[in-house]
């Protein structure tokens, strides 16, 4: 499986966890929707593995230049196309980024699906691959603009699953990260509990790359075992993302304004507490009832520098 799949506690993911067995065994065509990196391919593989159907899991990566077939565990096939769907062998065919299919490829795919349906009509024993598709784009607008064949859309979207981005399921991030760290250890000693400052940093970050980005950070953490390095890296990424999209700051949403005001208030509280304790960070952390490391992380985020006349830390 490309990325470890963990359902988590987000209400959508809990609901999916309860239904996954039924969906896997049903054999229905499934459309998995979600932004890049949310685990669509991992979920497709899980449905294939949980369905109890023999046969291979074959990826067809849809591109503007034409689809290419990627059978699991092998190299790219040369001259592979949608004809793999015409096989009378059981298994699962995963159509990744189906919205990129050209009109001609949509017609070809629809013809193949109609042929499969005709073969199975009245004879459910006829073997045919199961179809699971994915998209990072909303398909309804494409259908309304006739950029996606409506008949094909309905054939592929018998059962729809939406995978939310990580920023919408922050409560799942610690569990996901721990699971990925354990997987990356690969049989080695179990990792220690995550430092609280690292958990806070993971949950504060927006994760534009979603599970894929989180997985990369987990692998880095296994190698370095340095929480401060990970926290600093996430902070740098946040600053780069903010500087790369200045136009978004001209008209901030209510949520963004509330977040900004909250961060400003937190910075002012930390500053006043540090000044009251003559910049003794350990005493300030005790006064704020947070860990010393959390205070250092928050000071860095608030761009608070240690004063030259700070009291010694041991005082």
DSSP letter at 20 equals: H
Q: Name the domain boundary from 129, 164, 199.
A: 164
- Residue 105: CA atoms inside 13 Å, Cβ hemisphere, count? 20
Q: What is the CATH number of the domain that holds 203?
A: 1.10.8
Residues 296 and 234 in one domain: no
Query: 6 lies in a domain?
Result: no
> Measured in Å, how far apart are the chain's first and last C-alpha atoms?
53
The residue from 164, 185, 214 where one domain ends is 164
* Domain-located, residue 302: yes
pLDDT computed for residue 115 by the predictor = 83
pLDDT tens-digit readout, 253-304? 666 666 666 777 778 788 888 888 888 888 888 888 888 888 887 887 777 7
* Same domain as 86, residue 184: no
Same domain, 265 and 286: yes
Give the whole-angstrom CA distance, residue 98 versus residue 81: 13
- Counted domains in the chain: 3
Final residue in a domain of this structure, among 164, 179, 201: 164
Tell me: do 49 and 94 sit in the same domain: yes
Residue 53 has pLDDT above 60, yes or no: yes
Whether residue 166 contacts residue 120, with contact meaning beta carbons closer than 8 Å, is answered with no
Own/partner contacts of 166-170, CB < 8 Å, gap of 24 or more, are 166/38, 166/206, 166/207, 166/210, 166/211, 166/214, 167/206, 167/207, 168/10, 169/8, 169/10, 169/12, 169/13, 170/203
Q: Does residue 2 lie within any of the structural domains? A: no
Give tens-digit pLDDT for 54-101: 788 888 888 876 665 555 543 333 234 676 777 667 889 999 999 999
Residue 1 lies in a domain: no
Question: Is residue 77 a part of any domain in this protein?
Answer: yes
* Residue 104 lies in domain: 11-164
Q: To the nearest 5 percent, what fractions of the chain are helix, strand and coil? A: 55, 10, 35
Reported as a single tens digit per residue, the pLDDT across 100-114 is 998 988 998 898 888
pLDDT attached to residue 249: 44
Q: Is the pTM of this model over 0.85?
A: no
Identify the CATH number of the domain in which residue 279 sits.
Answer: 1.10.10
* 4 falls within a domain: no
Four-CA torsion 177, 160, 116, 66, nearest 10 degrees: -60
Does residue 3 sit within a domain?
Answer: no
Residues 102, 18, single domain; the answer is: yes
pLDDT bucket at 127, cuts 50 / 70 / 90: confident
**Predicted confidence (pLDDT) per residue in 160-180, tens digit:** 999 999 999 999 999 999 988
If asked whether residues 134 and 241 sit together in one domain, one would say no
Q: Are residues 151 and 16 in the same domain?
A: yes
- Alpha carbon of 181 to those of 100, 116, 184: distances in Å? 34, 42, 5
């Amino acid at each position: 499986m490309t990325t470890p799949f963990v359902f988590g506690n987000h209400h959508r993911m809990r609901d999916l966890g309860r239904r996954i067995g039924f969906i896997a065994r049903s054999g229905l065509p499934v459309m998995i929707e979600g932004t890049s990196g949310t685990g669509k391919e991992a979920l497709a593989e899980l449905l294939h593995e949980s369905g109890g159907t023999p046969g291979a899991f074959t990826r067809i990566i849809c591109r503007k230049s034409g689809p290419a077939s990627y059978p699991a565990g092998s190299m790219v096939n040369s001259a592979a196309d949608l004809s793999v769907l015409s096989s009378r062998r059981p298994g699962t065919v995963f159509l990744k980024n189906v919205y990129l299919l050209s009109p001609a490829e949509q017609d070809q795919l629809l013809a193949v699906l109609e042929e499969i349906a005709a073969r199975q009509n009245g004879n459910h024993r006829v073997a045919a691959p199961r179809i699971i598709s994915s998209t990072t784009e909303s398909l309804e607008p494409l259908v309304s603009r006739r950029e996606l064949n409506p008949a094909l859309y309905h054939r592929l979207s018998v059962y729809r699953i939406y995978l939310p981005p990580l920023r919408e399921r922050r409560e799942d991030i610690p569990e996901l990260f721990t699971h990925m760290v354990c997987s990356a250890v690969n049989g080695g000693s179990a990792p220690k509990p995550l430092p609280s400052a690292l958990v806070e940093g993971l949950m504060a970050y927006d994760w534009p790359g979603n599970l894929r980005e989180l997985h990369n950070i987990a692998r880095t953490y296994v190698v370095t075992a340095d929480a401060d390095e990970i926290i600093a890296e996430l902070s740098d990424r946040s600053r780069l993302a903010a500087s790369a999209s200045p136009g978004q700051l001209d008209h901030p949403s209510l949520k963004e304004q509330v977040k900004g005001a909250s961060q400003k208030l937190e910075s002012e509280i930390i500053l006043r507490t540090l000044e009251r304790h003559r910049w003794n960070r350990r005493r300030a952390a005790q006064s704020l009832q947070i860990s010393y490391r959390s205070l250092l992380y928050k000071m860095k985020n608030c761009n608070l520098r240690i004063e030259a006349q700070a009291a010694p830390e041991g005082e």
